Amino acid sequence: MKKLTSIIAIAISMSGTDIANAQSEQKKNQQNPFTLVYDDAITKNEKGKVNIHPVTYKLNGIKIAANVYTPAGYDTLKKYPAIVVAHPNGGVKEQTAGLYAQHLAEAGYITITADAAYQGASGGEPRHTDKPAFRTEDISGMADFISGYAGVDAKRLGALGICGGGGYTLKAAQSDKQLKAVATLSMFNSGEVRRNGFQNSQLGTIQERLREATDARTQEAAGGQIIYAGVASITDEEIAKTQTDLYREGYEYYYRTHAHPNSTFLYTKSSLLDLMAWDATAGIDLIIQPLLMMAGSKADTKYMTDEAFGKAINAKSKELFIIDGASHIQTYWKPAYVAQAVGKLIDFYQHHL
């Protein structure tokens, strides 16, 4: 009840414009039976075409909601390579993760994308918990599930992580050798940003923010109200005034053009205790699998891909692929940039799987 009270208080603060936009996006979601919000999404399953299969499974006692995409002409008696797709921070499986999963299925792969535990349609309390250990386990959990799916060749299993999902995919691949080929798109090192601030803008307040997170945890442990960090809603004027491309375009994507009712920028403030002590690149020398890292040339997050790529010294082979002209968020949806990324992914997986 306390969790609901907190969320209701946030919802009440929404402006009339926010509510109207949310209602418009909700109506669009209802037009797709699978609530997919990307362009050219599957609207019905048809024999002989790429199909989508909503599934659930348990991971450490928590129910995980996922979508499995199967290629055209899917035959359970045949063997297919498979890809696990990890969604961005704040995202859900019906947004860009689903778009890439569908495109890869069109290329002949069985793909899976799941809502992270504690987020989206998956279970777990408190809601919006965002701890790196859980997000990394989500990726291994997808790999476990899809390895046993009819028609999957578990020896040809790859991974794709987008934004925050990219950082967590790098971490999962360090130890989970089910993942035979590892790719990231617009990788976001959640620990580095939560600790240092975006583009190292909060180095002077690290200890202060850790104390605030500690206080939030203490309050939760005592049965008090859960404190949330992040953005619950935003006005058009506030979006326009946002200085960085990542956050301005991110607000437009998540709260306007590709909004989904299960997607939110909120996370429990106590999660910062884990996030701020974590880094996607710590131990990255354990990655021995082939590695592909992709980023837009104009992405203000590209520095994180560059840092991680330079530290991945033991990857069997590695390639940095730059999508010319793309910002971080544009790689999520803009057809020309998505086509470049998908084309590169297909070449990569065909060679290494």
Average pLDDT, the chain: 92
Residues 6+ apart with CB under 8 A from 247: 198
| 15 against 332, higher pLDDT | 332
Determine, yes or no, domain membership for 309: yes
CATH of the domain at 162: 3.40.50.1820
DSSP three-state, residue 275: helix
% pLDDT > 90, the chain: 90
Residue 181 included in any domain: no
- Could you report the per-residue pLDDT of 37-68, keeping only the tens digit for each? 999 999 999 999 999 999 999 999 999 999 99
Q: Tens digit of pLDDT for each residue in 22-44?
A: 445 445 555 899 999 999 999 99
- Residue 14: pLDDT over 60: no
At 209-256, the pLDDT tens digits run 999 999 999 999 999 999 999 988 999 999 999 999 999 999 999 999
pLDDT reported for residue 27: 54
Contact 212, 322 (CB under 8 A): no
What is the predicted pLDDT for the residue at 11? 33
pLDDT value of position 2: 33
Has residue 13 been placed in a domain? yes
- 93-130 pLDDT, tens digit each: 999 999 999 999 999 999 999 999 999 999 999 999 99
Number of compact structural domains in the chain:
1
∠ at Cα 96 (147, 42), nearest 5°? 75
Q: Residue 218: inside a domain, yes or no?
A: yes
Residue 328 is part of which domain span?
2-175+187-352
Burial 21-43 (b: 16+ CB within 10 A, else e): bbeebeeebeeeebbbbbeeebe
Average pLDDT of the residues in 309-324: 97
Tokens representing residue 256 in the block:
């306007």
- Which value, to the nearest 10 degrees, does the dihedral of the CA atoms of residues 195, 198, 203, 204 take? -110
88: which residues sit within 8 A by CB, 6+ positions away?
95, 96, 97, 162, 163, 164, 165, 186, 188, 332
- Other CB atoms closer than 10 Å to residue 62's CB: what's the count? 17
Q: Which amino acid is at 78?
A: K
Residue 182 in domain: no
